[in-house]
Amino acid sequence: MAIAVLVVGERVAGESPDVTFELLGRGRELADALSGELAVVVVNDLDEGAQFGIADVLYVVDGMDSASYSAPQWEAAIGAVIQRVSPQVVLVSTGTVGIDLAGALATKFNAPLASYVIDVTAQGDKLVVTSQLYGGKLLSEGEIDAFPAFVSVLPGSLPVEKGRAQGSPRVEHIDAGDQLRLSKGRGTELREPDTSGVDITSAALLVSVGRGIGSKENLELVAELAEAMKAPLSASRPVIDQGWLPKPHQVGKSGKKVKPTVYLAFGISGAPEHLEGMRSAETIIACNTDPSAPIFEVAHYGTTLDLFDLVPELTDIVGG
Amino acid sequence: MHIVVAMRQLADLVEELEVNGDGTDIDRDFVKFVSNEWDEAALEEALTIKDESAASVTVVALDEPDVDQTLYAALAKGADRAVKLTGHDPSAWVRTRERAQRIASFLAHEEFDLVLTGVQAADDLDGQLAGILGSTLDIPHAAVVVGVELTGSSLRVAQELGGGLVGVSELELPAVLGVQAARQAPRYASITRIRQAMQTQKIEEQEVSLEVTTPQVTVRRLYPPEKQGGATMLTGSAKDVATEIVNILRSKGLV
């Protein structure tokens, strides 16, 4: 039977990320609809193939350096597998590996690519994809009728448990040695996350701040509230990228996943990258002057008051 | 060392976005366009490299609403040259694959060592520019870059791999990088400096003609997500709302 769907396993170090299982779960449905097999490719050494029981085939690319990551090497390795097995659909995530490689591979194979996808189904001889654009403010429903098709799924969009099944897929080793030797890059090291300083992952209450704070000076206002509440101060990506707070404070895809009892969000619009890191908080309370901010979709309580009016009142009540 | 920074205009996400009449694009007549924030990080990284070495920096962008403002600001911040690419409809949605082909077509006539661009843009339905451009030019690329080190002809990049894990790798030059964050926050150019750039420097225009045949997603409709109505909205004065929030926190024993 032909390979209908190829899932790119994105494990670089440690455990396979949840999104790989999200892709496997949906990949199974797509493969069945397309009457073909479901395969998963891993480009690092792997001794736990059993966790990919939902797949029919596991491709292991031999000869990769597992102590590092290199975009050209991964591209060469995955490209070699696609070349060899000619899948109809390639599923990756719009996480680092997908952002890094999906566009390049789709270009190489002159294939369509849908990015920021939150839902994908097979309908007749087409794929229907829903993508989240403009930071979650708009959705695009689109169709793809040319194959192979690349679909890059936003992590956290599909159920994960469906894809986790014990079993024993057929294992095939693929030697991409020739392609790897030609690749114009090599990994040198993996750096583990910075764990110094604040630990935002174990706090029951987080006071979190986003772009709406406007400047580093204004941050003091929210820092005072955090101090009064004896809670750590966390932040969304723009605050970190501006250098207003150090990296260990970051919540989101490129920061930390947090699950406090209460997450207080001030001036955070709720970009997908941020929601990925905090949506499983027990209670989310959001303050944002934009009533259509996506944060209100995941928040339990919300207010459109200006944070500069609300925060001092909170500090007064808690501190006083 | 010649660094090219590919920048672009994007609908300002702070503003309300309306969908156009046929429901397949935003209503571009009523949208404010600003520079893509990640491209600003790419520009900052390029200018930082220029500050450290003798690199020259060219900024290139497709003709899109208010792009002159972005290009003059880049010149005011220290870019050596600004190029505006024409030959397409500046008021339409230029999909990322076509954008990459247009920039690649410009780069085909340039000597360059490094291309920097933002890691992503909020309308990247067809994938992110850096990888597509790298593949189109058949040169190495890396995205989600948070560190760039250039020593002589060797390039070392740090990429965020999720959950705080960072992968460091070496790439041969020339290469394309999708920048997530520069070493420092983007520098500021005062209105006076931008005006000065407008008076003393020129934006070069280059026409790109292209037959685009890339297979891509056909957009059936663009629409705002259905309101889940998740949040219970707290109303009243700041004091009222603060009291309600503190009551919620107290009920959970948190303050």
* A45 and A138 inside one domain: yes
Interchain contact, B132 vs A107, CB within 8 Å: yes
Nearest CA in chain B to A228: B255
CB contact under 8 A, B232 and A112: no
> Considering CB atoms only, which of A99, A143, A300 is closest to B230?
A300
Q: How far is A86 from chain B (nearest CA, A)?
A: 17
- Decide: A254 and A237 in contact? Cβ < 8 Å: yes
User: What tokens appear for A305 in the block?
Assistant: 């008051």
Question: Would an 8 Å CB–CB cutoff place A194 in contact with chain B?
Answer: yes
Please indicate, yes or no, if residue B7 is contained in any of the structural domains. yes
Verify whether the Cβ–Cβ distance B230 to A17 is below 8 Å.
no
Same domain, A170 and A212: no
- Decide if A197 is inside a domain: no
Angle between the N-to-C axes of helices B67-77 and B37-52, in degrees from 0 to 180, rounded to the nearest 10: 20
Task: For residues A61 and A177, state if they share a domain.
Answer: yes
Q: How many folded domains does chain A comprise? A: 2
- Answer yes or no: do B17 and A137 touch at CB < 8 A: yes
Nearest chain A Cα distance for residue B63, angstroms: 20
Of A138, A192, A309, the CB nearest to B17: A138
**Omega before B174 cis (within 30°)?**
yes
* Cα B219-B210-B68 angle, rounded to 5 deg: 85
Cis before residue B225, ω within 30 degrees of 0?
no
- The reply to whether A168 and A313 lie within a common domain is no
User: Residue A221 sits in which domain range?
Assistant: 205-319
User: Per the domain annotation, does B247 fall within a domain?
Assistant: no
Judge whether A245 and B187 are in contact, CB under 8 Å: no
Q: Are residues A15 and A151 in the same domain?
A: yes
* Chain B residue whose CA is closest to A189: B168
Contact criterion met (CB < 8 Å) for B164 and A193:
yes
Residue B15 burial (C-beta neighbours within 10 Å; 0-12, 13-18, 19+): middle
**Same domain flag for A125 and A228:** no
Identify whether residues A215 and A110 lie together within a single domain: no
DSSP A92-112: EESSHHHHHHHHHHHHHTT--
Residue A200 lies in a domain: no
Chain B residues whose beta carbon lies within 8 Å of the beta carbon of residue A229: 249, 254-255
Task: Tell me the nearest-neighbour CA distance from B152 into chain A, angstroms.
Answer: 16
State the total domains in chain B. Answer: 1
Distance separating alpha carbons of residues A249 and A233, to the nearest angstrom: 7
CATH number of the domain that residue B65 is part of: 3.40.50.620
pLDDT along chain B (255 residues), means of 10: 97 90 94 96 97 94 98 98 97 96 97 98 97 97 95 88 89 96 92 97 96 88 84 95 96 92
Evaluate whether residue A70 is within a structural domain.
yes
Contacts with B126 from chain A: Cβ below 8 Å: 103, 112-115
Closest CA to B165 of A284, A304, A269, A191: A191
ipTM higher than threshold 0.90: yes
Nearest CA in chain A to B101: A107
Q: Do B163 and A256 touch (CB under 8 A)?
A: yes
Chain A neighbors of B171, CB-CB under 8 A: 71-72, 184-185
Q: Is residue B246 part of a domain?
A: no
Cβ burial B221-245 (10 Å sphere, 16+ → b, else e): ebeeeeeeeebeebeeebeebbebb
B159 domain-assigned: yes
Task: Evaluate whether residue A195 is within a structural domain.
Answer: no
The alpha-carbon gap from A188 to the nearest alpha carbon of chain B, in Å, equals 5
Q: Which ranges in A86-185 belong to alpha helices (H)? A: 96-108, 177-182
Residue among B76, B84, B78, B80 at smallest CA distance from B7: B84
Residue type, B145: V
pLDDT at A194: 72
Residues A146 and A252 in one domain: no
B210 in contact with chain A, both atoms CB, cutoff 8 A: no
Pairwise CA distance, residues B53 & A140, whole Å: 44
First CA to last CA distance, chain B: 56
**Residue from B115, B132, B217, B245 whose CB has the most chain A CBs within 10 Å, to mutate:** B217
pLDDT at A164 over 90: yes
Among B161, B214, B221, most A C-beta atoms within 10 A, so best to mutate, is B161
- Residue A213 sits in the same domain as residue A165: no
**In a shared domain, residues A40 and A124:** yes
**Whole-angstrom distance, CA of residue A296 vs CA of residue A290:** 10
Residue B98 lies in domain: 2-207
Tell me the three state secondary structure of residue A237: helix
> Which phi and psi (to 5°) does residue B242 adopt?
-60, -40
- Closest residue in chain A to residue B250, using alpha carbons only: A318
Asked if residue B215 is part of any domain, the answer here is no
A62 & A172 share domain: yes
Task: Note the Cα B234 to chain centre separation in Å.
Answer: 36
CA distances from A174 to A6, A16, A44, A109, B222 (A): 14, 20, 12, 19, 41
**Quick check: B146 and B167 in contact, CB under 8 A?**
no
Q: Has residue B251 been placed in a domain?
A: no
Closest Cα in chain B, distance from residue A172 (Å):
26
Closest residue of A to B229, CA-based? A297
Q: Inspect the interface and report whether the beta carbons of A314 and B139 lie closer than 8 Å.
A: no
- Show which of residues 48-87 on chain B sit within 8 Å of chain A, judged by CB atoms: none
Residues 114-173 of A with CB under 8 A from B: 114-116, 129, 131-146, 150, 152
User: pLDDT-based confidence at A65, cuts 50/70/90?
Assistant: confident
Task: Name, in order, each residue with C-beta under 8 angstroms of A149's C-beta and a sequence gap of 6 or more.
Answer: A88, A89, A90, A111, A112, A113, A114, A127
Rg of chain B, C-alpha, whole Å? 21
* Cα→Cα distances B248→A6, A68, A308, Å: 47, 46, 20
- Determine whether the interchain pair B224/A318 forms a contact, defined as Cβ–Cβ distance below 8 Å: no
Strand (E) or helix (H) holding A142: strand A138-144
CB contact under 8 A, A72 and B238: no
Confidence band of A199 (pLDDT split at 50, 70, 90)? confident
pLDDT reported for residue A48: 64
- Residue A313 banded pLDDT, cuts 50, 70, 90: very high
The verdict on residue A169 lying in a domain is: yes
A218 by Cβ neighbours in 10 Å (0-12 / 13-18 / 19+) ranks as middle
Would the CB atoms of B167 and A238 count as touching at under 8 Å? Answer: no
Can you tell me whether residue A224 is helix, strand or coil?
Answer: helix
Number of cross-chain residue pairs from A and B with Cβ atoms under 8 Å apart: 296
A70 touching B (Cβ < 8 Å): yes
Q: What does the pLDDT read at residue A272?
A: 85
Query: Is A110 part of any domain?
Result: yes
pLDDT of residue A45: 66
Does a structural domain hold residue B238?
Answer: no
Mark whether A154 and A39 lie in a shared domain. Answer: yes
pLDDT in tens, A206-243: 999 999 999 999 999 999 999 999 999 999 999 998 88
Check CB contact of A199 with chain B, cutoff 8 Å. Answer: no
B169/A254 CB distance under 8 A: no
Mind telling me how many Å the CA of A230 is from chain B's nearest CA?
A: 8
Query: Quick check: B135 and A264 CB within 8 A?
Result: no
Whether residue A189 is contained in a domain is answered as: no
Residue B63 inside a domain? The answer is yes
Query: What are the tens digits of pLDDT across the range A246-295?
Result: 889 999 988 889 999 999 999 999 988 899 899 989 999 999 999 888 99
Q: Is residue A188, in this structure, part of any structural domain at all?
A: no
**B246/A112 Cβ within 8 A:** no
SS (H, E, C) chain B: CEEEEEECEEECCCCCCCECCCCCCECHHHCCEEECHHHHHHHHHHHHHHHHCCCEEEEEEECCCCHHHHHHHHHHHCCCEEEEEECCCCCCCCCHHHHHHHHHHHHCCCCCCEEEEECCCCCCCCCCHHHHHHHHHCCCEEEEEEEEEEECCEEEEEEECCCCCEEEEEECCCEEEEECCCCCCCCCCCHHHHHHHHHHCCEEEEECCCCCCCCCCEEEEEECCCCCCCCEECCCCHHHHHHHHHHHHHHCCCC
